[in-house]
């Protein structure tokens, strides 16, 4: 994992390499925000702003890009602007992922923490300085939030990138988990394999549910494309404004996908205080002229309840995956305790459904919480789903689907093996 160096060359300290790599990431992500703001300012979009005010706006955009909340009109404390643009936050994440791979190649085993510490330190300093510089009478960021929140996404990107380069956690932290597990008891290894299978199945369920929700969103946008285009035309933002608006909407596509996931679970989501959108009925008030909102369903939906099948289908896939993993050691343990196969099979399948559904529900609740937003203006302080309700409904629907998928898996496997056995006979 350590790069070779020329004889006589002084190696750069790991903490300094981390500072250099994440310093680059901070500068590049700032440039990606600053360039559009400067373009709009030069074309007269911010005619009333000075260059310093436009730079402060870019700093506020950099903070919002990393999920830092802003207090609007801090002197009057009018509201909290908080939103995490899940597509745009990928920009610093990918830059940090690249930095993590480079630092892993330059680090000895179990010394990566030095590079991580240096890199996260400089990124925290950049966030602190940006929060101080960008605060004005229009919006302000808390200095602790500016220092602590931006390193979260880049730290995750660095760790994932470093692991991708190293290929194993043991090369990063100096602990060989495989040998540690091999020294544990057989029951511990079985329990670990069972827990890992549950996690994988729940992860598959969440990914499948999100993918199906993305397909649902794409179909909805296609059906209501005329309404979206009409809102674009009424705005008449010009070439530059339309380009910026399109980029902004693309940045929130993952948030909209997660709102579609909440909608398909039956929990629905809110677009302002007192509003509610669910598969059964939609009730919303006045909304900002954001073109993609033209795809929202309105009124009672005759077949809206069919969307509840999406988390159930995701659970079916999870149950099938769990069966194919062949790591249902809890069922094997129950079989040793009782000879009543009908009882042990039902109990193990029920427990598997509860565990997979509960884990998927936790993942769904976390995603729903991450997708929530507040514009801090009037009634638009409650945007997005209720994480607790989303988690409970996804847990129930995925759990039932996992039980059904596991119960049907022997039939599916038998059908998939039948053509192969026929070919072998021929």
Q: What is the pLDDT of residues 301-312, one digit of tens each?
A: 777 788 889 999
Quick one: pLDDT at residue 247?
A: 82
Per the CB < 8 A criterion, the answer to whether 245 and 235 are in contact is yes
pLDDT at 81 over 90: no
Lowest mean pLDDT of 7-11, 168-172, 366-370, 375-379, name the range: 7-11
67 closest CA partner among 132, 129, 127: 127
Per the CB < 8 A criterion, the answer to whether 387 and 365 are in contact is yes
Q: What is the full DSSP assignment across 207-244?
A: HHHHHHHHHHHHHHHHHTHHHHHHHHHHH--HHHHHHH
- At 1, is the pLDDT very low, low, confident or very high (cuts 50, 70, 90)? low
**Residue pLDDT, tens place only, 91-143:** 999 999 998 888 888 777 677 788 888 889 999 999 999 999 988 888 888 89
245-250 mean pLDDT: 82
Q: CA geometry: angle at 157 spanning 154 and 163, to 5°? A: 140
Quick one: pLDDT at residue 256?
A: 92
Q: Where do the DSSP E strands lie in 29-95? A: 70-72, 79-81
- At 417, is the pLDDT very low, low, confident or very high (cuts 50, 70, 90)? low
Cα distance between the two ends of the chain: 52
Quick one: pLDDT at residue 254?
A: 92
Quick one: pLDDT at residue 328?
A: 76
Lowest mean pLDDT of 168-177, 215-224, 258-267, name the range: 168-177
pLDDT at 421 over 60: no
Most confident of 182-191, 217-226, 297-306: 217-226
393 closest CA partner among 306, 266, 283, 281: 266
Q: CA geometry: angle at 384 spanning 378 and 385, to 5°? A: 130
Residue percentage of the chain with pLDDT more than 70: 85
Tokens 């999100």 sit on residue: 210
**Residue pLDDT, tens place only, 11-64:** 678 888 889 989 999 999 999 888 888 887 777 766 677 878 888 888 999 999
Helix (H) or strand (E) holding 281: strand 281-283
How many C-beta atoms lie closer than 10 Å to residue 97's C-beta? 21
């Amino acid at each position: 994992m350590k790069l070779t160096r020329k004889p006589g060359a002084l190696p750069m300290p790991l903490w300094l390499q981390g500072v250099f790599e994440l310093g680059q990431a901070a500068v590049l992500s700032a440039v990606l925000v600053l360039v559009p703001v400067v373009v709009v300012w030069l074309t007269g979009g911010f005619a009333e702003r000075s260059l310093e005010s436009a730079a402060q706006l870019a700093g506020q955009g950099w903070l919002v890009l990393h999920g830092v909340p802003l207090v609007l009109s801090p002197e009057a404390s009018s509201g909290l602007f908080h939103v995490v643009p899940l597509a745009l936050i990928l920009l610093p994440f990918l830059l940090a992922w690249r930095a993590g791979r480079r630092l892993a190649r330059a680090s000895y085993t179990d010394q990566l923490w030095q590079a991580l510490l240096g890199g996260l330190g400089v990124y925290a300093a950049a966030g602190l300085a940006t929060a101080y510089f960008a605060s004005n009478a229009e919006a302000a960021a808390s200095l602790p939030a500016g220092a602590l929140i931006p390193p979260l996404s880049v730290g995750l990107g660095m760790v994932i990138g470093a692991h991708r380069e190293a290929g194993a956690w043991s090369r990063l932290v100096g602990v060989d988990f495989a040998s540690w597990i091999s020294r544990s008891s057989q029951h511990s290894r079985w329990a670990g394999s069972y827990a890992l299978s549950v996690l994988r199945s729940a992860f598959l369920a969440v990914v499948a549910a999100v993918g199906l929700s993305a397909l649902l969103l794409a179909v909805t946008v296609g059906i209501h494309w005329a309404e979206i285009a009409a809102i674009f035309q009424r705005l008449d933002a010009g070439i530059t404004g339309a380009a910026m608006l399109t980029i902004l909407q693309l940045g929130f596509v993952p948030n909209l996908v997660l709102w579609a996931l909440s909608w398909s679970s039956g929990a629905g989501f809110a677009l302002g205080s007192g509003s509610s959108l669910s598969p059964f009925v939609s009730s919303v008030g006045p909304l900002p002229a954001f073109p993609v909102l033209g795809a929202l369903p309105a009124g009672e939906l005759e077949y809206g309840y069919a969307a509840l099948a999406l988390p159930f289908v995701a659970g079916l896939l999870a149950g099938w995956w769990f069966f194919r993993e062949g790591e249902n050691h809890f069922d094997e343990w129950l079989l040793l305790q009782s000879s009543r196969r009908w009882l042990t099979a039902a109990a193990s399948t029920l427990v598997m459904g509860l565990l997979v559904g509960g884990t998927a529900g936790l993942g769904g609740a976390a995603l729903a919480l991450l997708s929530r937003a507040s514009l801090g203006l009037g009634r638009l302080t409650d945007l997005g789903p209720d994480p607790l309700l989303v988690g409970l409904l996804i847990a129930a629907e995925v759990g039932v689907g996992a039980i059904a998928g596991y119960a049907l898996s022997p039939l599916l496997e038998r059908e998939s093996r039948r053509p192969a056995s026929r070919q072998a006979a021929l």
